Amino acid sequence: MSGMNRSSRASNVFFTFLGAAAVGLVIAVLALVGVFDQTERVITEAPRVAAGIPVSDPGTASGSVADIYAETAPGVAFIQAGSGGSGSGFLLDGQGHVVTNQHVVDGATSFTVRLGEEGDELPAELIGSDASTDLAVLEIDPKKVSGETKPLELASSAALRPGDAAIAIGSPFGLSGTVTTGIISALDREITAPNSFQISGVLQTDAAINPGNSGGPLLDGQGRVIGVNSQIASSSRQSSGVGFAVPVDTVKQIVPQLLEGGEIERAYLGVSSTEDPEAEGAVVAAITSGGPAASSDLRPGDRITDVDGRSIRRPEDLSSAVLLHEPGDTVELTVERDGEQRTIEVRLGTRPNKLEQG
């Protein structure tokens, strides 16, 4: 997918970790083994923020962090996935649905959920998961949930701006009920999903997030969920003040589909792209053999500047533009090749479950 082959900067190397153990998912270059987190990634460039950051009124706290914690912590879950993996989550509704990360539950066949620090360990069933957004839904018996335990309220991530309050609650290193605070550091980041595709629109925060926080809620100053904590960037396997959360607007889009039990299908172009430092657009680096673009006139080196009238300034824009469509749609690409502009039509396919590297 676009953006996966960016030029590296040797002075800007981070280790990006998924924050909870994901049994059987080891995709790092360096295999550092931790108690709560065995999933690591290396990125050569910190995710960038896209132009056009949405502006809104700053989030204002309705109470102190202590008040927000007292109200929301009972609905935050400690999740045990199989015999080794653990992470966090939160109660979504009165039907016993708990949202977490896909990489928290990946590879496990049995699950338990404990809501709050005083809750009982309850058996849970995996309802659905989506590796492309790193989201999953577990279900517990709602009759066994205390009547005083309330689902967390969902906000919107569209109106956030850098500097807004951010509060993380979860189970870093297995320490359930841990709260950390900070701000939204940046918007519209792009991180790598467990299946190697890209997750766009990601929130960056300096609220301390460590292994075990994965799947837990990132809250605003009113105690509403604005994101699901998913990854950290660090060179030491500990929080460096650079954490990433899947935005709650993505949760609102994906979770209902998981609850319906349907297969989530996404449009797929079948190219990887990179930036041209001297011009806007997404430069085709490689075309996937057998993919939709392989049967078109698109070639490596083409610079895509427009998709169906939507301007493409960087590779991330190409990913977003493709995902606005459905599999089977025909899109019109405006490309520049050898100084000449041309139009190429491509019939989009269905994204595979995992991006094949190489």
Q: Please, which residues have CB within 8 angstroms of residue 334's CB and are 6 or more apart in sequence?
A: 304, 305, 306, 307, 341, 342, 343
Q: Record the tokens describing residue 110, joined without a space.
A: 């049995």
Task: Say how far residue 266 (Cα) sits from the centre of its chain.
Answer: 16
Tokens of residue 200, six digits: 């766009």
CA distance 22 to 86: 8
CB of 76 within 8 A of CB of 116?
yes
97 is catalytic: no
Nearest CA among 160, 134, 169, 138 for reference residue 16: 134
SS3 253: helix
Q: Is 214 a catalytic residue?
A: yes
Catalytic residue among 157, 176, 200, 214: 214
229 and 186 in contact (C-beta within 8 Å)?
no
Tell me which of 103, 132, 171, 239 is the catalytic residue.
Answer: 103
Q: Is residue 325 among the annotated active site residues?
A: no
Q: Hey, CA dihedral for 107, 97, 76, 232, is it positive or negative? A: positive
Amino acid at 323: L
DSSP 259-295: HTT-----EE--EEEEEETTEEEEEEEEE-TTSGGGG
Beta pairing partners, 195? none
Q: Which of the residues 37, 106, 134, 188 is marked catalytic?
A: 134
104 to 86, 110, 129, 303: CA distances (angstroms) = 7, 12, 10, 38
Given 3-state DSSP classes, what are the helix, strand and coil percentages for the chain, each rounded to the nearest 5?
A: 15, 40, 50
Task: Check if the beta carbon of residue 152 is closer than 8 Å to that of residue 94.
Answer: no
User: Catalytic residue positions?
Assistant: 103, 134, 214
